[in-house]
Copies of this chain bind each other. A is one copy, B any other.
Amino acid sequence: MTAPKAVVLVSGGLDSATVLALARAAGRECYALSFDYGQRHRAELTAAANVAAALGAAEHRVVPIGLGGFGGSALTDTALAVPEDGSTGIPITYVPARNTVFLALALGWAEVLGAREIHIGVNAIDYSGYPDCRPEFIAAFEQVANLATKAGVEGSHFKIVAPLIELTKAGIIQAGVAHGVDFSTTVSCYQADAEGRACGVCDSCRLRRAGFADAGVADPTRYRPG
Residue positions of A touching B, CB distance < 8 A? 61, 63-67, 69-72, 90, 94-101, 103-105, 107-109, 111-112, 131-132, 134, 136-137, 140-141, 143-145, 147-150, 152-153
**Which residues of B lie under 8 Å from residue A71 when comparing CB positions?**
112
**Which residues of B lie under 8 Å from residue A104 when comparing CB positions?**
97, 100-101, 103-104
Given contacts A70-B112, A97-B148, A140-B147, 20 further A-B contacts (CB under 8 A): A63-B65, A63-B66, A64-B64, A70-B108, A72-B112, A90-B150, A94-B150, A96-B149, A97-B105, A97-B108, A97-B111, A99-B148, A100-B107, A100-B148, A101-B104, A101-B105, A101-B108, A131-B152, A132-B148, A140-B140
Q: Are B72 and A111 in contact (CB under 8 A)?
A: yes
**Which residues of B lie under 8 Å from residue A136 when comparing CB positions?**
147
**Which residues of B lie under 8 Å from residue A147 when comparing CB positions?**
131-132, 134, 136-137, 140
Most B-side CB within 10 Å, residue of A61, A95, A108 = A108
> Nearest residue in B to A139 (C-beta to C-beta)?
B147
Whole-angstrom CA separation of A95 from B96 in the bound complex:
24
Q: What are 27 A-B contacts with C-beta separation under 8 Å?
A: A63-B65, A63-B67, A64-B65, A65-B65, A70-B112, A72-B111, A94-B150, A95-B108, A96-B108, A96-B109, A96-B150, A97-B107, A100-B107, A100-B145, A101-B101, A101-B108, A131-B147, A131-B148, A131-B149, A131-B152, A131-B153, A134-B147, A136-B147, A137-B147, A137-B148, A140-B148, A141-B148
